[in-house]
Amino acid sequence: MIWCRSNIIRTIALPYYYSTLRKLRMIGFILKKIISQCFVPFNISLACLTLGWLMSRLHLSTKGNTLILFGIICLYFFSTPWTANHLLIPLESRYPNSTLINDPNVSKIVVLGGGLPETLLEKKPFKLSTASHERLIQGITVYQALRHNNQKATLILSGGNPYHSKEPEAKQLKEEAMTLGIPEKDILIESTSKDTAEEAHKLLPVLNTQPFYLVTSASHLPRAMKLFQHAGMNPIATPCNYLTNRVRWWTNWLPRSNQLGKSQAALHEYLGMLWAKLNRLL
């Protein structure tokens, strides 16, 4: 009788439990993405402009004009190099450029995926996003430096596809790395994670407490370092893909579309840190 009950639990209850858990995690992931979109400067500006216009049409001109003005100011402010740089500098200056450690035990290089590009027409040579490509190049640079010093080196490429609409990012990174001359035997992939916190959790059995090079964008590195350290690992910061740039003083206040994207990237990191703290991941 006891054996029968345990068998029922194993065959029915446990699969249902894990299936429900996966669904709840996916709901949490989607909810996080929706909330983050509410703090995108362009979305805030668009919402204010639209709501302000509607209120003006409903004879609430004072409140409507105020919202329209706020939307214009918000869009302008976050589109300037001054704002983008001031949001990014505290993130990108946290860890200086890394140097190789003369220790044969430090042989693993973890490259975090930077997201898949949302393209309607997928072209084979350009599957990776700009961030992913720069992270991969930095990881390969560290790999080649270790091999040049006659050290062992393993490239660990991480990144899934949370929406299951394309091939996991880690597999695409692996294809690109092999195209650039990295032997397949020196590449490991983690292709099931949806975000940085999951990457840290899933890579823990592979990395344990041994030091390793953690390669990611400079603005993403502070959050990634804390998440991996919180998981009990010992990452060595290896930044790349810097977004801050030096501009002439008189162009600091000239709005540009690419600066709006940089402001959004910085705000995404600050919101990610806040979300992790609320979930006690940092």
> Using one digit for the tens of pLDDT, what is the confidence trace for 20-47?
656 666 676 677 778 888 889 999 999 9
Distance CA 90, CA 221 (A): 11
Domain annotation covers residue 114: yes
Which are the contacts of 256, defined by CB distance < 8 A and separation ≥ 6?
A: 79, 80, 81
Nearest to residue 261, comparing CAs of 237, 281, 241, 277? Answer: 241
- Neighbour tally for 257: CB within 10 Å: 8
Nearest to residue 199, comparing CAs of 160, 155, 154? Answer: 160
Domain annotation covers residue 76: no
Domain annotation covers residue 118: yes
Distances (CA, A) of 114 to 164, 184, 195: 16, 21, 10
Q: What is the pTM of this model?
A: 0.86
CATH number, position 147: 3.40.50.620
What pLDDT shows up at residue 152? 92
What pLDDT shows up at residue 119? 58
SS3 136: helix
Nearest to residue 107, comparing CAs of 188, 178, 190, 227? Answer: 188
Distance CA 63, CA 251 (A): 32
The first and second tokens of residue 196, run together, are 């940085």
CB 230 within 8 A of CB 282: yes
Distance CA 159, CA 141 (A): 19
Domain annotation covers residue 20: no
Distance CA 110, CA 190 (A): 10
Beta bridge partners of 155: 109, 187
Q: In the chain, how many domains are there?
A: 1
State the DSSP H helix or E strand holding residue 217, giving kind and residue range, or none if neither: strand 211-217
> Using one digit for the tens of pLDDT, what is the confidence trace for 6-18?
555 556 555 655 5
Q: Where are the alpha helices (DSSP H) in the chain?
A: 2-8, 14-37, 41-57, 61-78, 81-92, 130-148, 169-179, 196-207, 221-230, 257-278
CB 45 within 8 A of CB 71: yes
What pLDDT shows up at residue 120? 46
Beta bridge partners of 151: none
Instruction: Specify the DSSP class assigned to residue 98.
Output: P
The residue ranges of the chain whose pLDDT is under 50 are: 2-3, 120
Mean pLDDT over each residue of the chain, to the nearest integer:
87
Directed axis angle between helix 196-207 and helix 221-230, to 10°?
A: 50
Domain annotation covers residue 25: no
Distance CA 158, CA 113 (A): 6
CB 194 within 8 A of CB 29: yes
| Domain residue limits at 229 | 91-246+274-278
What pLDDT shows up at residue 118? 62
Burial class (CB in 10 A: 0-12, 13-18, 19+), 26: middle
SS3 184: helix
Domain annotation covers residue 78: no
